Structure 1
Amino acid sequence: MNSSREQPQPLGRVIGAVKDWVGRLGEIWVDAQVVEIKRRSGATQFMTFRDRVANMSVQVTASAVVLDSAGPLPEGSRVTARVRPRVWDKATSLSFECLEIHVAGEGQLLLRLEQLKRKLQAEGLFDDHRKRRLPLLPRAIGLVTGRGSDAERDVLTNVARRWPSAIFRVEHALVQGIDSAASLMTALARLDADPEVDVIILARGGGSLEDLLSFSDEGLVRAVAAAKTPVVTAIGHERDTPIVDLVADLRASTPTDAARRVVPDHVEESAGLALARTRLNRAVDVLLTREEHAISALRSRPVMLDPTSAFSAHYERLTLFRHRLGSAVEHRLRAEEADLRAAVSSIRALSPKHTLERGYAVLVGPGHESVSSIADASVGERIRAYLADGELTLDVVQTNPKEQHG
């Protein structure tokens, strides 16, 4: 394409030529680092790739399908990508279209861990309802760690500082290498079978992703999830999160933090106990004082000072009722006595003895029948006469009937 000051080429033609030349470069595989991902709701996604050595970067576009097929792709991942350079007409900017992308190096390892994590999460091993509460004060603390490791020293030292009488069951295991996962599972099984162990700490110091890989082993993760004893994990530093942390009943950020979580601080507990005792004594004193005041108030009442004072009015009424009753009984007795005397007088007036005392006699025939008429006796019969002071035996010698006067 010829050009000069007198015969310049149109800018659009030049841009088109550059675009055509770039388009003829074709596809190429590149090794790069993903430094930024801008996900959008549309079909096209945007990324920024940077050279892993030189300070050079480029804008990259990819379809959502291509980006999703790469799996989890955190920023900073090393990738191998099949790209095609493109020049955009309007902005005349150079970018690359990503046709295929794969996580490489440590990123590939992260991808496998992420896939295992999703699998276990789908099975419900990370659910909160599976997490068990740690005992307030364990009878014995199980510790799985490397022999002579800083993690072992940190846990033992800090637990002893917080609770001097704590009892440990320590099982040493390999915490790195090919056989480390199996060694950790064996130590965990021994402590889980010990009836005295109430909590198990799985501890290791910090390290690289590969160093901590055994703590993301599927077999160890499932063993921790199936353990009958609550498990506390203290793996690496705060930023380290192996998969076993997600199934443990409690994740401690460091071995020192694990020691703080499994036992209380005896100084704080003693202070709390002293404070509680003081509050209890104060509460008891307040209660006793209140009850004493209540008793004093009860004692000051008139009925308590003189329990019989309440009966004074009743005594007066009782005296009145007694007087009325006595009067009524006396009146009734007098009336009954008068009636009795009248009855006695009537009885005496009608008594045969009283009649006899006035000079009359009762005559009884030989058959003990009453003789009330001369017709009841015959001359020659012997009759008896009952007088007031005795009786007489009489012989009938004559009967004189009484003359009737018209």
Structure 2
Amino acid sequence: MTEPGQSPENPWPVRAVATRVAKWIDRLGAVWVEGQLTELKVRPDSKTVFMVLRDPAADMSLTLTCPRDLVRNAPVRLTEGTQVIICGKPNFYTGRGSFSLRVNEIRAVGIGELLARIDRLRRLLDAEGLFDPRLKRPIPFLPNTIGLITGRASAAEHDVTTVATGRWPAVRFAIRNTIVQGPNAVPQIVEALATLDGDPAVDVIVLARGGGSVEDLLPFSDETLCRAISACRTPVVSAIGHEPDNPLCDLVADLRAATPTDAAKRIVPDAAAEQALVTDQRRRSARALRNWVHREQHHLDQLRSRPVLALPLASLAAREDEIQRARATTQRDITRLISAERETIGHLSARLTTLGPAATLARGYAVVQTVPTSGSPAVLRSVADAPRGTQLRVRVSDGVVVAVSEGPEKSTAEGSE
């Protein structure tokens, strides 16, 4: 036999389960819980007030019940969006099978505590790099379509659209109206942000709201919204409140504007100012071009006025006389050199003629050669080489004489003996 409730053959009745659950929950005792009121139902004929307490950082909530007098005597006026700390005892109502907290004390979250929590979140996001200026995306010079997230028929919407249209009449808007304060503001703003970020026609997203108290601006310091802004691929401009207001979304956004009007001025160029700038640039460019042309023309005039360009053949004419004189001098020098060399050659030729064999023969000298029976004639150099009967060949200036040697001539001394 199985234990009750452990098999389909032996189930527990509903009352048994509900009673056991109620006993377990009753053991929890009183707890302190912090959250944001999202619903507040006060029935005229009931002494019990029903409320819903939501966790701003997560999509979770609890049902609360409390006496009407406790709500009436609360330290702050309880409305939807009020941040409170409550002390209550968990209860499980067996008749309806519902869970709730029976509240016996309500305390308001002070401004100092809210600012301290925002500061702790700021340090956390800063440590994660969500405020890093290097991650900021540039705002386009002239956005095609501006995504605008703001309250319905709000002054912020009017300021952004009016100022932007006045500066650039062709600008277009994709407007998403959401609530901008209270417990439901963050989910609606995050949803609108995701919708505009997914639209390829939207070039920049503006998150705009007028000024308000610290409690009114709490949604714009919500961690979920800050991380959604950081995750956007489209540049986001934060235009929350006025100059003293500084929610955390201002630090995460790619551009912070002091007011919605300032946001419109910073993301949309002024058509009149841009036209004036273009006109001024054209005027300055034309003046600069004219000045450049004048400078270059003056430079060309100076170059053309120089003698080398004004009379290009004058220098050639001046050089022509120099060339003629140089040619005449060169010809004279060459002629003188040739005459000197010719005279030198004549002297050398005369000396060569004087010293030559023909001149010697002309002066009465003769060249005597012996003519051997075989072989070539040889010059007679000694009387011993011409014994008696030797054939001789005598060359004189006008011819050759053949003779026969009679032998050496005897000296006078030998003849007298």
Normalised by the length of structure 2, the TM-score is 0.58
Alignment of 1:153-192 (within 5 A): 154-166=159-171, 168=173, 170=175, 173-192=178-197
Residue of structure 2 in register with 1:113 after alignment: 114
The question of whether the paired residues in 2 share the 8 Å contact of 1:377 and 1:396 is answered with no
SS of 2:298's equivalent? helix
The question of whether the paired residues in 2 share the 8 Å contact of 1:136 and 1:264 is answered with no
SS of 2:378's equivalent? coil
Alignment of 1:6-405 (within 5 A): 108-123=109-124, 124=126, 129=133, 132=136, 134-135=138-139, 137-146=141-150, 149-150=153-154, 151-152=156-157, 154-166=159-171, 168=173, 170=175, 173-192=178-197, 198-205=203-210, 210-225=215-230, 227=232, 229-236=234-241, 241-307=246-312, 326-358=331-363, 360-366=365-371, 367-388=376-397, 390-392=399-401, 394-396=402-404, 398-399=406-407, 401=409, 403=411
Letter aligned with residue 111 of structure 1: G
The question of whether the paired residues in 1 share the 8 Å contact of 2:394 and 2:403 is answered with no
Letter aligned with residue 406 of structure 2: Q
CA deviation after TM superposition for structure 1 residue 342, in Å: 1.4
SS of 1:203's equivalent? strand
The question of whether the paired residues in 2 share the 8 Å contact of 1:175 and 1:204 is answered with yes
**Bigger mean CA deviation after superposition, 370-379 or 147-156:** 147-156
Letter aligned with residue 385 of structure 2: D
SS of 1:398's equivalent? coil
Distance in 1 between the 2:387 and 2:175 partners?
A: 149
Distance in 2 between the 1:112 and 1:215 partners?
A: 17
Q: How many residues align?
A: 300
CA deviation after TM superposition for structure 1 residue 329, in Å: 4.1
CA deviation after TM superposition for structure 1 residue 377, in Å: 2.2
Q: 1:109 to 1:220 in 2, by over 3 A?
A: farther
**Bigger mean CA deviation after superposition, 240-249 or 320-329:** 320-329
CA deviation after TM superposition for structure 1 residue 130, in Å: 6.1
Q: 1:314 to 1:117 in 2, by over 3 A?
A: farther
Distance in 2 between the 1:390 and 1:175 partners?
A: 150
**Bigger mean CA deviation after superposition, 227-236 or 287-296:** 227-236
Q: 1:211 to 1:120 in 2, by over 3 A?
A: closer
SS of 2:389's equivalent? coil
SS of 1:155's equivalent? helix
Q: Mind listing any 5+ residue stretches in structure 2 that lack a counterpart?
A: 1-106
CA deviation after TM superposition for structure 1 residue 203, in Å: 1.8
Q: Mind listing any 5+ residue stretches in structure 1 that lack a counterpart?
A: 1-103
Letter aligned with residue 355 of structure 1: T
Deviations 1:290-317 (A, max 9, x none): 2211221222223332346567887777
Distance in 2 between the 1:191 and 1:327 partners?
A: 102
SS of 2:353's equivalent? helix
CA deviation after TM superposition for structure 1 residue 279, in Å: 0.9
Deviations 1:120-156 (A, max 9, x none): 4445479785684743515545524147544445434
Q: 1:209 to 1:377 in 2, by over 3 A?
A: same
SS of 2:180's equivalent? coil
The question of whether the paired residues in 1 share the 8 Å contact of 2:140 and 2:204 is answered with no
Distance in 1 between the 2:408 and 2:217 partners?
A: 165
The question of whether the paired residues in 1 share the 8 Å contact of 2:211 and 2:242 is answered with yes
Q: 1:248 to 1:112 in 2, by over 3 A?
A: farther
**Bigger mean CA deviation after superposition, 274-283 or 221-230:** 221-230
Percent identical pairs in the alignment equals 38
Distance in 1 between the 2:130 and 2:112 partners?
A: 19
Distance in 2 between the 1:326 and 1:226 partners?
A: 98
Letter aligned with residue 118 of structure 1: D
Distance in 1 between the 2:219 and 2:296 partners?
A: 67
CA RMSD between the two structures: 3.9
Q: 1:381 to 1:249 in 2, by over 3 A?
A: same
Deviations 1:340-389 (A, max 9, x none): 21111110011112333455443322232112444332333333334445
SS of 1:143's equivalent? strand
Distance in 2 between the 1:380 and 1:309 partners?
A: 92
SS of 1:200's equivalent? strand
